[in-house]
Each structure stands twice: as structure tokens, then as C-alpha cells.
Structure 1
Amino acid sequence: MKLPYAEVRIDGKGAWVEPDDVDGASDLLATHAATDVLILCHGWNNTPGDARALYERLVTSIVAVRDAVPGSRRRQFAVVGAIWPSIQWAPPENSGAGAGADGPAEALRSEIETMVTGAAARRRLLALVDRLEHDPDAAVQFVEVLRTTLPRSTKGEDAAAFRIFRSAPALEVIEAVRGGADETAPAAVGGAAVLDLAAPPEPVDGGGAGLFSSLIDAARNALNIATYYTMKERAGVVGRKGIARLLERLHADHPQARLHLVGHSFGGRAVTAAADAARAPVSSLTLLQAAFSHFGMARNWDGAGTDGLFAGVPAKVEGPILVTFTRNDTAVGLAYAIASRLARQIGAAIGDENDPYGGIGRNGALKTPASLPPGKLRAVGGAYDFPPGRVASLNADSYITGHSDVTGRQVAYALLRAVDAPG
């Protein structure tokens, strides 16, 4: 690591795995007389090694662009990496014919082994895989088993989709996640049409199977969306309890050090929850392809007086809030597109800014009074104006090519400009 680094491990219930980790982080700040602390939080990573590699790449870019940011050289940085038990999202490019030499069934087996933590549910799901090719009842049973792995409830703007996934007839759920390559919601969800699970996948694009058209692919998509809701709940707990307490401890030990939260994917949800809960000042908040609703910080997002789950966060962050978003983010885009299908939102542009179930990593922060007009992620040296307490959503289509492509120098430069802003 090119900057002083400490690591704090947090379990799925938000507890510090080893209190000595936090002592070590506090000692690091003292040893290096840190003026600014970057608290980094990963998202959909399957191992601590993945998280550390992400942090290493981002810090390397930060160091590379420091000279381009006024005032950055006067700051003494320290980095604290949060490590929490996340689960890997299965990327859509592994679907169907792209699932590798062993085919989609083997891909599904591998994903069950990786993504399902309960041993009993894992065994039951694995036993259904071979039947999915020829037995529609197996798909129904697959959904029913997945439901046993879900959290009891979930809060936020996509709660209706969660309730449907948890309790609607399994056939409706299968139809919603089976979908097609155009990402439109199936008209039969919630309606009178009957799903023929035995029907062969409809050909698209000159004869190939749709992205989620087969029952195996529908099962993979259902597994992904179950993982999504599990990680959504866990990230909130990690942020509200583990990271918020970490901020309070570091501020108590080092009140002169400015605390900057940086979260990727569900790590964005975790650090936003931490900023909301912590009784410690947060100097800036950077959300890199965050996985929560584009109405997460909104006021009256539905026209009926409903505020986003994190509507109070802009008033709690002393400096700016930076949000990267891009249409290139298929992980966030697909997660919310599926939520739209489940919630019976019918349309041709599901997941975009017109969809009530769109993601902030896809569309930026919407209906948020503290927001600046949307801008663009710029090249190193580009002009930014990040006023304190405002939300700056930056379209990153030109520089972020996918969900995890968040460690480039353009991202690092924008992050440092947010850190350097008054607050």
C-alpha cells in the first residue's frame, strides 16, 4: 500500500471481529500524524483479498494524481480498509452460452456453492440443478428454497419488490426473473396470463437464447436477486453498527483528523448508513457505483411525501457528497431492473432515471434537494466545484466501463477534489 494502511474486520452483524484492529487503526493515525483518513469499504467481493486488491488499486491512483489537486500535498493521509463478509454477484456475462466450457448448469452449481451460506439451503438448491432442464416444478422449488435465505424484511424504496420476491406465487417470481434480453418487464406479472414453464426459450438476436430465458438462467437470476437483498440488509448493518462505531472511535482519539468515507457497490450503502448513524463528523462521502436506490437521499420521491432512507445524510456530511454513475454498470442496472419486474413496473426503459426502482450507480442521485445539476467525471486536471453539503452526481460513461472499474485516475482525482473541498 502506497499510503499508511490499517484494516478493520467487521462481521455480518456489525461487530468488530477483533477490537485490536481498531486499536491498530487509531495507532496508525497517531504514528503518521494523519490529517485526513480515507475509510474505504468494498461491496460485492467474495474474499478479503479482492477487497484489498481494490483498495490497493484505488490508493495507487490517488497517489499518482496528488500533485494535480491543490492542497493535497499538505495533507497527511492514512487509509483504513473495512473488510466485511460480502457475497459475489454472478455477472451476466456468465449466463447462457457464456457460462464456460461446462455450461450454465455447472455455473449455477458453482454460484450456489459460493453465494449460499446456509448448508441446508445449499444442499437443497444443488439437488435441484439437474432437474431444472426438464422439470418446471424444480424451478418453483428453487424459488421456495431461496426464500428461506432472505432477511426477514428490508427497508427502502425497493421494499415492494422484496415483498413480492418473498411472498408472491413462485410462478410470478420465475416469470419476472426469467425475463428477456430487452430488460422489459413481462406483462403477465401480476396479471392473468399463465406462464408455460415447459415452453422453450424464445429466440432473440438471430436465434440465440435470451439473457435470462431458460429456467437455469432464471434460477441464476433468482439466486442473484436473493443475494442482492441479503447483501443490502447486511451492508446496512455493517455501516450502522461497525463503521459508525469506527468513526466515533477514531474521532474520539484524533479529533483533528478529517474523516472521509469512500464506498464501492454495497460498500456505498454501508458508508452512507454509517454517515447517517455516526455521532462523529464526516468531512466527505464518495459513492463509487453505489448499490442503492437513486431516491436514497431524496425528499418526497413518490409525490406522496415519502423520503428516501438516507434523506438526512446530506445535512450530516460537512463537505461534499460525490456520486459516480454510468449506464455501463450492468450489476446495479440489472439488480434494479429485476426489482422493477418483481414490483410489476411495465416499461421499455427499466432501470433508467424514469424507473422508480433505478439505482444510484446507474442514474445518480435523483429528487434530492441537496443535489447539484448532474455533471461529468472529468480527466485529471479538470475543473470541479464541490460545495459543502451538496451532492454531486458525475456521469462516468467515458471512464467507468463496468461495476468494479472504479479505481482509475479520473476517479481518484475527483475523490481528492472532494476531500480538498471546504467543509
Structure 2
Amino acid sequence: MKLPYAEIEFDDTGERVHPGQVKDAASVISREKATDVIVICHGWNNTAAQARDLYTRVVESMHMVQGEVPGAASRRMVVIGVLWPSIQWADDVDSGAGAGVADEQETLQDMIRARIDDASVADRLVELVPRLEASSTAQEQFVALLRKTLPASTEGEDEAAFEMLATGDVGEVLSAAKGGTDAPDALAAAGGAAGIDPMGVAPLDDGGGAGFFDSIMGAGRNLLNLTTYYTMKERAGAVGRNGVAKALEALHDAAPDARLHLVGHSFGGRAVTAAALATSAKVSSLSLLQAAYSHFGMADDWDGTGKDGAFEKVPSRIDGPIIVTFTRNDKAVGVAYPIASRLARQIGAGLGDQQDPYGGIGRNGALKTAASLPAGTLLDVGGAYAFEAGRVSSLNGDAFISGHSDITGRQVAYAVLTAVATGRS
């Protein structure tokens, strides 16, 4: 890495795995006489090696563009990498067109092994996969096992979908997840019957029979993605509230003159947003890179009944700008939300887009957010941003972000460092 670096590791509840790491990080900050501390948090990467590789590439891009960012060249920056036990989430979606049944089964089995923490549950799910096509009993058992991995409850903009997933009729849950013509009428109108792909990447019917997503294997894959989403939603929130928030306070106490900045990718975006809401330390900027939470997360009265997003108060807690990258190219953020819409019987013109109550912030930017500036565009290096303290700038990254994990380019680094450099010195 080209910038001084330290890391802090948390378990799935937000407890520090190595208590001495915060003190070590503070020592690096002190030794470097840092003016700015950038705390970066990964998302779906499920190994420390993957997270470190992501951080290395992000920091290298920051180093490359630092001299191009107005006001950033003279700043002494230290990067703190957060490590936490995330579950792998789909980086992109393969429609499976032309794949045989055996291939679809193997794909689902591999996903189960990668994403279900409880080995005994994973083994039982894997054993059920070959029977899913022909056995309604196997389907019921499959859904029941997935439900065992869900958190006890959820809060926020997706409660209705969670309740359906956790307690709804198994046949309806599977139909919603399939999106095919056997779904209830309202659901079918939003999906399979209208020829809309639930993932936004391929037609449901490729002309040669049922496509991957309207098969029972596709339903299993979709439900696994959605179950992973709720598991990660709870875990990322705990890591942010209980872990990152307290670490920020400790770092601020050790180096009160250093400005603190939060950068989160994917579910790491939820973690750092939760940290910003919970911490007593002053946060000088917040950068959400393809974040995996609702586009109404920071919204005011998102549903017309007076309900605010879970993170509605976050903009008022940030001493500098908040930036959000979003793109239609992010298939991973689009995985859970269209299925959630079907489960909750929310019928929009475009599943997963701005009209969908269950759209993601990494797909559509921050919506119905009082603190938002008009949506803008992710610029090339050298472009002029007009970020403002306490305001949310949603940046369309279609031109530079090709997928969920494509956040290591110079254009993203330039936007992040512009946010870092904006505000008081």
C-alpha cells in the first residue's frame, strides 16, 4: 500500500477479535501525524485476504489521484481497514440459459456451502437440492431450513418482505422467488407473466424452455440470496453499532485533531452508516460505494405514512459530505430487492429500480432524502464536484463502475478523496 495502514478485526457481534489493534492503529496515526483517518469497511468478501486485496487496490488508486484532488495533496492520510466475518454474496448473476438440471443443482449446492454458516444446516440443504424439482415435501423442508438461518426479526423498510419470507405460505414464497407464471396474479403481473427478469439481466424465457430464474433451482438461489441479505443486514448493523462506532471513539480520544472518514462497500456501507449513527465521535465524511441497503435508508417519510428510513438522522451527524455511488450495472444489489418486492406484493413498473419500494441505494442512489443534493454523475479524475457538508450526493457510476465490486478505480478514489478534502481543515 502507498498510504500508512492498520486494521481492526471484529467478530459477528462487533466485539474486537484482537483488543490491542485499536491501540496499534492509534500509534500509526500518531506516528504519521495524520490529519485524516480513513476507515474502510468491506462487504461481501468472506475472507480477510479478499478484504485486504480490496483495500490494497482502493488505497493504491487513492495514492495515484491524491495530487489531483483540490486540497488533498498536503493532507497526511492513514487508512484503517475493518475486517469482519461477512458471508459471500453474489457479485453478479448468471442466467444459466442452456444449463442442464445437474449444472443448476451444482450451482445451488455450491452457493449453499459458501453462504450458510451452520455446517449441519448447509449439509441438509445440499442433500435436498436434487429432490426439489419433483418433491413438494423437499421444497417445504428447504424453506424451513433456510428460515432457521434468519435473524429473529428485522426493522426498516423491508419488514413486510421479511415477514413473508419468515412465516408465509411456502408455495407463495417459492412462487414469488421463481417469478414465473405460476406466481399469484399480482406477482406474475410484476414478473414472469410480463416477461420481466427478476434480476434484470436476462429474459425469463430464452426460447428453449424455462430459464434459470423461473425454475425451482432459480427460486432456491433467489431465496438463498435473500436469506443471506437479512443475515448480513443484521450482522453489518451489529458490527457498525457495537464495533466500528466504539473504535472511532477510541481513535478520536487518542488523536483528537485527526479527522475521521468512513468508507463502506456493499454491506460495509450499512456497517459504516450504522457506526455513524451510533458513535459519539465526529465523522468528517461518509462514502457509500455500491452500498447494500434500501434506497430509502436515509429518507424522510419514505412510505407516505410518516415513517423515516433507519438512517434518516445520519446526514445531520456528518461534519462533511456524504457521497453515494450507484449504477444499473450493479446486479448484486439488485438480487435481493426484486424478490423482496414480490414477497411483499409490491408491484412497481420496474422491479429494483427507483419505482420499486424495495430498491437498493447502490442501484438507485439515496431517494426521498431531505438532505440530498440533486443526483449527479461520477466524474473522471480532475472533474469538479460541489459536495456540501451534511448533504448527500448520489453519483451515477454507469460510465465507470461495471459491477458490484468494481469500486477500486481512480474515478471512485477521486470522489472519495474529494469528500475527504471537503470541509474544515
Q: Name the TM-score, length of structure 2 as normaliser.
A: 0.93
* Structure 1 residues 189-212: Cα deviation after superposition (integer angstroms, max 9, x where no partner): 599xxxxxxxxxx97132253241
What is the aligned partner in structure 1 of residue 145 from structure 2? 145
Matched, 1:44 2:44: yes
In the alignment, is the contact (CA less than 8 A) between 2:262 and 2:285 conserved in 1? yes
- With over 3 angstroms needed to count, the CA separation of the structure-2 counterparts of 1:101 and 1:407, relative to structure 1, is farther
- With over 3 angstroms needed to count, the CA separation of the structure-2 counterparts of 1:131 and 1:268, relative to structure 1, is same
- Following superposition, the deviation at residue 137 of structure 1 comes to 2.5
- Following superposition, the deviation at residue 81 of structure 1 comes to 0.4
Of residues 319-328 and 85-94 in structure 1, the stretch that sits farther from structure 2 once superposed is 85-94
- With over 3 angstroms needed to count, the CA separation of the structure-2 counterparts of 1:102 and 1:30, relative to structure 1, is farther
What is the aligned partner in structure 2 of residue 108 from structure 1? 108
Q: Distance in 2 between matches of 1:138 and 1:102?
A: 17
Secondary structure, counterpart of 2:80 in structure 1 = strand
- Following superposition, the deviation at residue 187 of structure 1 comes to 2.7
In the alignment, is the contact (CA less than 8 A) between 1:185 and 1:344 conserved in 2? no
Matched, 1:178 2:178: yes
Q: Report sequence identity in percent.
A: 59
* Structure 1 residues 62-91: Cα deviation after superposition (integer angstroms, max 9, x where no partner): 111111112211100100000000011135
User: Aligned AA for 2:337?
Assistant: Y
Q: Distance in 1 between matches of 2:363 and 2:307?
A: 21
Q: Name the TM-score, length of structure 1 as normaliser.
A: 0.93
What is the aligned partner in structure 1 of residue 274 from structure 2? 273
- Following superposition, the deviation at residue 112 of structure 1 comes to 1.3
Matched, 1:154 2:170: no
User: Aligned AA for 1:59?
Assistant: V
What is the aligned partner in structure 2 of residue 288 from structure 1? 289
- Following superposition, the deviation at residue 136 of structure 1 comes to 3.1
User: Aligned AA for 1:143?
Assistant: V
- Following superposition, the deviation at residue 135 of structure 1 comes to 1.9
In the alignment, is the contact (CA less than 8 A) between 2:388 and 2:422 conserved in 1? yes
- With over 3 angstroms needed to count, the CA separation of the structure-2 counterparts of 1:180 and 1:43, relative to structure 1, is farther
Matched, 1:241 2:239: no
Aligned-residue Cα RMSD (Å) equals 2.1
In the alignment, is the contact (CA less than 8 A) between 1:203 and 1:210 conserved in 2? yes
Matched, 1:306 2:307: yes
Q: Distance in 1 between matches of 2:22 and 2:98?
A: 43
What is the aligned partner in structure 2 of residue 71 from structure 1? 71
Secondary structure, counterpart of 1:224 in structure 2 = helix
Secondary structure, counterpart of 2:369 in structure 1 = coil
Corresponding residue pairs, total: 411
- Following superposition, the deviation at residue 334 of structure 1 comes to 2.1
- With over 3 angstroms needed to count, the CA separation of the structure-2 counterparts of 1:416 and 1:64, relative to structure 1, is same
In the alignment, is the contact (CA less than 8 A) between 1:187 and 1:346 conserved in 2? no
- Following superposition, the deviation at residue 346 of structure 1 comes to 2.1
Of residues 103-112 and 367-376 in structure 1, the stretch that sits farther from structure 2 once superposed is 103-112
In the alignment, is the contact (CA less than 8 A) between 1:185 and 1:347 conserved in 2? no
Q: Distance in 1 between matches of 2:91 and 2:59?
A: 25
In the alignment, is the contact (CA less than 8 A) between 1:288 and 1:323 conserved in 2? yes
In the alignment, is the contact (CA less than 8 A) between 2:286 and 2:322 conserved in 1? yes
In the alignment, is the contact (CA less than 8 A) between 1:64 and 1:409 conserved in 2? yes
* Structure 1 residues 329-365: Cα deviation after superposition (integer angstroms, max 9, x where no partner): 1111121111111111123401111111111111111
What is the aligned partner in structure 1 of residue 126 from structure 2? 126
Q: Distance in 2 between matches of 1:160 and 1:212?
A: 23
Matched, 1:407 2:408: yes
What is the aligned partner in structure 2 of residue 187 from structure 1? 185
